[in-house]
Structure formats: C-alpha cells, structure tokens
Structure 1
Amino acid sequence: MSQRNALYHIFSVVRIFFYPFALIYGALVWLRNRLYDTGFFSSIQFMTPVISVGNLSVGGTGKTPHVEYLIRLMQYRYQAATMSRGYKRRTQGFLIADANTNALRIGDEPMQYHMKYDDLVVSVAEERITGIPTLLQKRPQVEVILLDDAYQHRSVRPGLNILITDYSKPFYTDHILPMGTLRERRAAYKRADVIIVSKCPSGMTPEQASEIERNINPFPHQQVLFSHIKYVTPYNLFTREAEELSGSHLVLVCCIAKPEPLVGYLRQVGKEVHVLSYPDHHYFVSRDLEEIKAAYDNWNVLPKVIVTTEKDAARLHLHMDKLKDWGIKIVVLPIEISFLFERGNDFDGLVLNYIEKTITENQTIFHGTEEN
C-alpha cells in the first residue's frame, strides 16, 4: 500500500470514529438554532446599526482583514466601535481598550485594531447581549457597532450579517465538528445577508466564481462576493516606518491558523525563508523568544530580518523592551482584502446604505416620540 493510500485509509477510519460525536454535537446545535428560529429563545435587535462578521468554520477564513476593511470604510463617516469576545485574553467581562491596554487584557485581534485605528472604540465582551448596552452607555457617541466573530451569537440579531467562507475549503464541502471544522450545520448560511468567499486567487475567472455561487445556492436576499488577500507595505515594529523585504533572508515568526499562503508570498519576495510557526493565537514566552533569537543569530546569511504578522505583533508588543535590546530589525507585514470583479463599490454601498437607513429611521422614531 502506498503512503498516500495508507494515509487516506487512516483518515477514513478516524472520520468513522468521530461520526457519532459529530451527530451528537450537530443535534445539539440544531436544537439550539431551532429554539431561536421558533422564538423560544429571544434575539434582540438594537436601534444602533449592528454589523456582524463571522464564519461557520473554526478559524482561518480571513475574517480580521474584512473587519478592518469595514473599519476603514466607516473611519471618516461614523464613530464606529468593534466588539469581540477577546479570544485567549486573561481577563473577563466587558472592557474598552485604553492607553494601558495590551493583548493579555483584550486579546490579540482587538489589540491589533486598537494599535492601528486611533479613533476606533475597541471593546470586548463574552456576552454581546449585555456588552452592547454597556458599550452604548459608556460611549454614547458610538454610531455603528461591528461584532467580530459573532455569527453563532444568536441572542443578538444584527442588522447586517456577513458570513466569510474560505475559497480553499468553502462551507458546502466541510463537515460539522469534530469530523470537519464547521461550528454548525451548512444550512446555517441562510442567516447571512452577504456571503464573502475569501482568499480567492487574484486571477479567478467569472466562470469559476459562478460555479462556486451555484454550489452555495444563495437565497434571493443574499449577495455573494469574492475577495482576495493582498500584502501591503511592511513596516518596522518599533518605528512604524516603511521597510523593504525584497533581497533579504527572512525569519518568519507567525502564530496563524493557515501560514502557507504567507510563506509562499515571502518566498517570492525574499531570498530564503526560515519559518518559526506556533499555534494560532499563541502567547510568546521566554523560551519562544530564545528560539527566535537563536534562529536569527545562527543563520549565517546577510541581509536578514525577522518578519511577523500584525496579529502576532500585537502579542510581541508584550515583550517590546526585550525585543528592542536585541538590536534586530523586526518587520510587520500587513494584509488587506480587495473585492474581485470590481464589486467593492457594491459592497460599500450595501453597508453604507444599511447604516444610513437605520440611523434615519431611528431619528424619525425619536423625533416622532418627542412630538407626542
């Protein structure tokens, strides 16, 4: 038996083993959703515009750059706030980021938003249903709330529900946990207003997009869009000045779910790439820093530089003094998303129209109440 056939056989046996657990988990999730759908469990819709960005699968869909796209879209139009769970943070309850905040207090992704967008209100709360009123009480100037990774938080009914699915593993080919990576059944996509197929190749053809859309089988109220990742200007971790990676030997330090596309890109722009990969959302400890420093020092090449992602930089900031003492250049490589087939304006219009319509309706209700 070939190695490939042996691995396939092992994988098939493992999947059979997990099948009963997937049935039990799937039944529990179905029951929970059914109780929400029938109104037994209530969902609250707030007057303030609320946009949810989430996915059906566990991590790796490129959700964060889509949230940042929305942040930039609203940056000079509305006072926006984000609300995340704050995955792997060392605190509990509702928090708003301030000058003393770090990734341990609010989580790496919220910290990334906080470091990049000065006017953004960044908040974390395990329970969005109580977090949103607290946020609006403490920051009454907030006009729009972005719920980060809240597709399964059904106690809050967003005005606009955006579902992200990965081009390399769209939800309609995946299976529910633990057989696959889906948090709930494929049919849950029906709750989305917008479905974005992320991480598409930039050269995707309209025919390929149409085939994916047919497989998704969207409802009449749903729009399907396609986005791809683009790497933008790298910057110095300490000075935030622009840096150049081409022609350098690169030590990549990353803790992301799917590092392969990033590694592939760096191999195109750099001479060689030495990869130090850690689990997703990993908090660096002393032995990790020693490993990173040793990898850099023992690589007998020039020029060389340490490269990391913005999410990892949020956690590296916890060790900023020690990193500065190294005297080593550390470069952060940001990513952004762009919509294929010139659909960016369509998406922008849909989002902005929803916000403006909701604000206008609320103002009408408020003024009508005052007159009465």
Structure 2
Amino acid sequence: MIFLKILLWPFSILYGCIVTGRNKLYDLGLFTSTDVPVAVVCVGNLKAGGTGKTPFTQYLLDTYSETHKTAVLSRGYGRKTRGFVLAQAQSTAVEIGDEPLQLFAHAQDRYHVAVCEDRIEGVKRLLELVPDLKLVILDDGFQHRKIKRDVNVLLTEYNDPFYTDMLLPSGRLRESRISAARADVIVVTKTPPVYKPLPHQRFISYIKPRVPVHYTGIIYGDITHQKGKTDQVKSIILVTGIANTQPLVDYLKEKQLDIIKHFNFSDHYSFSLQDIEKIENARNKDESIQIVTTEKDWVKIVPLLDQLNITSGWNYLPISLGVFSNEKVLLDLIQQKISKRLYSLS
C-alpha cells in the first residue's frame, strides 16, 4: 500500500496543482461565484467517499425547515437522469439518486428535495417552483464554488480526519487540506459516544482563526420493517451498499447479533432483482434469520421487494445524528448567518 501511494504521488502533485490553481482563480476573483436570492448553507467535505453528509444534512433539514421554507439541492450521485429533477412521491433512486431519495422519504411536505449538476440552475428552478423559498442546503457542494454560500460546513471523520490524508489518487482528498480555510465550521462525524477531542492544533494549521470544531455521531435506531419495529432478532444477513461498513458492523456485534453473512456491495450500488433473489436464497427459508440493510439502501430495495411480492424478512436500521459538543452553539452560528442573509434580502 505504501509503495502504491509513492508510485501515485506524482499524479497527486499534478492533480493538486490543477485543483489549487482553480481555487486560486476564485480567490482572486478571476472566476466568479454567482449570488442567489436565498440563504445558502453548504454541507461538504474534502474527501472522496462517505463522511456522513446525509445524516448531517437531514439534521439541518429537520432543524431549519421548522422556521424557513427550505429545499435541499444535491447533484444526485448515481442517478441515471440528467439536469434538474424535483423529487416527487413516485421518484426512484434511478431518477434522483439514493441519498436524495432517502432525504425525501423523511420530508413529509416539510421541505423540498431536488437534484441538478449545475447548482446555479438548480436554485433558479427551485425558486420558480417553490414560492417564498428562503433557504437552500447544498448537499456535497464544498467544491462547487460557482454559487455563493452563506455558511460552509466542512465535515471530516473522527477516525480519518482530513489532515491525515493525501490528495487523489495516492490519498482520498478531492482538494488540498488548505481548502479547509473556506469553512465557517468544522463538524467531526462518526464520533464514538465516548470520545477524546482531536488535537485542535492539527486543525489550526488549515482553518481560519476562531472557526469552531463540533463533534457528532451516528445514533442507530431499532431494526425496522415496513410495518414497524422488528422484535427478537438474533441472526441476520447484512446487506450494505455504503462506503464504510465498519461502524455498522461494530454496532450490530455490540448488540450481540449474529451476522451469518454480509453482502457488501459498493457505495451507491444499484440493486437488481437477481441480487434480491440471491440474498433471499441465502436465508434458505429460515424465518428466524432476518435480512437487515441500511436506510440508504432500503429505499432502493423496497421497489424490488414489491416486484417479487416479498413481504417479510427484510428490515432496515434507521439512523439519526447526535451532537456531542455544544449543540446550541453550532445551531446558533448557522442560524445567525442565515438570518443575516435573509435580512439583507428583505
């Protein structure tokens, strides 16, 4: 692995020069960011792969949609469509992507969900379709500098903070560590409930003065079927299509669940009927064995279960976000910037 990183390092240097040059052009004003007539909160990261953006985005949607007409705009990674698509009741992961579909499943008319590669065009369409829209949350938009934002929230994993990583392809960073200086707040994700804060001096080298660092973690709910909570689960087949399965596996083992088989698909995997049948066959008609998947994968799997008329044995594990540091300070910081922007527009 070390040899491979050394071998790829020259390509990382070339990639870094290109990305840093692009950012410099924005910093100098030679590339411009477009202002839009709504408050914009950007949730993103420096690393390629999952850092817990969806749970944090869901947390912001649940919080601020109570007081502001809100929409979330994503690129819609993994979808088979192009251009702007507004999520509807009949939308599928093929049309909008699995993470936006997961967000929409929680919406209950409290906020809107849309996807568009061009975030400026996406906001313009939202403004046309959503009367009195006040707040847009950009999901995974840290690198999309064509649009101005009022708050930049930079996420980084507790066990893999950005300051320990390297640029692609020898590492997993999409841009240099110094890009963290654009952040208004750092949110550490996937933090264990009992934790020791990361060395603050490691952040100071890259972030602006007085930028706060907050700690959040995943809180798992009860294993759930479409009809509600599933009781007395002991043996499971685990089905995942996420970037990092280890925290989930660790949690299930802590709950003393026997994982007899793990179907570990790639992140954003597009399940097929054949996949479902293969997983069903692994159960061998043993009703004591329950199939458990993630909430992100569940929204893609349910339509396939309906096609195969499978009504039992499949479950998902819901998740929510826990804020372990001072939650009020975090929310007040974001709210102040939203309010300042909305006041300037009034």
TM-score by length of 2: 0.95
> Structure 1 residue runs of 4+, over 3 Å off?
none
Q: Secondary structure at the match of 2:298?
A: helix
Aligned partner of 2:271 in structure 1 is 284
CA distance in 2 between counterparts of 1:219 and 1:79 reads 31
Structure 1: 5+ residue runs without aligned partners?
Answer: 1-10, 364-372
2:141 to 144, 150, 153: 150
Q: Which runs of 5+ in 2 are unaligned?
A: none
* TM-superposed deviation, 1:317: 2.9
Q: Describe the superposition over 1:201-254 as per-residue Cα deviations: whole angstroms up to 9, x where unpaired.
A: 11113xxx1x43221113224111111111123321x33x2233x542111111
Point out the more displaced range, 13-22 or 274-283. Answer: 13-22
Tell me what 2:209 maps to: 220
Q: Find the residue that maps to 1:326 and give its secondary structure.
A: coil
1:172-183 superposed matches below 5 A: 172-183=163-174
Residue 223 of structure 2 corresponds to which residue in structure 1?
Answer: 234
Deviation at 1:36, TM superposition (A): 0.8
SS in 2 for 1:93: coil
State how many pairs are aligned. Answer: 342
Match of 1:124 in 2: 115
Hey, what does 1:314 align to over in structure 2? 299
Partner of 1:366: none
Query: Shift of the alpha carbon at 1:326?
Result: 2.8
Distance across 2 between alignment mates of 1:264 and 1:96: 36
TM-score, length of structure 1 as denominator length: 0.88
The answer on 1:355 being equivalent to 2:338 is yes
The root-mean-square deviation of aligned C-alpha atoms, in Å, is 1.6
Structure 2 residue aligned with 1:368: none
* Superposition map of 1:1-372 within 5 A: 11-119=1-109, 120-205=111-196, 209=197, 211-217=198-204, 218-236=207-225, 238-239=226-227, 241-244=228-231, 247-273=233-259, 274-297=261-284, 303-323=288-308, 325-341=309-325, 343-363=326-346
How far 1:287 sits from its partner (Å)?
Answer: 2.5
Q: For the residues of structure 2 that align with 1:199 and 1:145, how far apart are their CA atoms?
A: 25
Displacement of 1:185 in angstroms is 0.5
Output the CA distance in 2 between the equivalents of 1:329 and 1:263. 19
The structure carrying a bigger helix percent of its residues is 1
Q: Secondary structure at the match of 2:217?
A: strand
* SS of structure 2 residue aligned to 1:67: helix
Letter in 1 for 2:343: T
Given that residues 103 and 318 in structure 1 are in contact (C-alpha distance below 8 angstroms), is that contact kept between their aligned partners in structure 2? no
Distance 1:334 1:89 in 2: 23
1:146-199: CA deviations, max 9, x gaps? 000000001012100000001111000000000000000010000000101111
> Does the aligned pair in 2 maintain the 1:250–1:270 contact within 8 Å?
no
Describe the SS at the equivalent of 1:331: strand
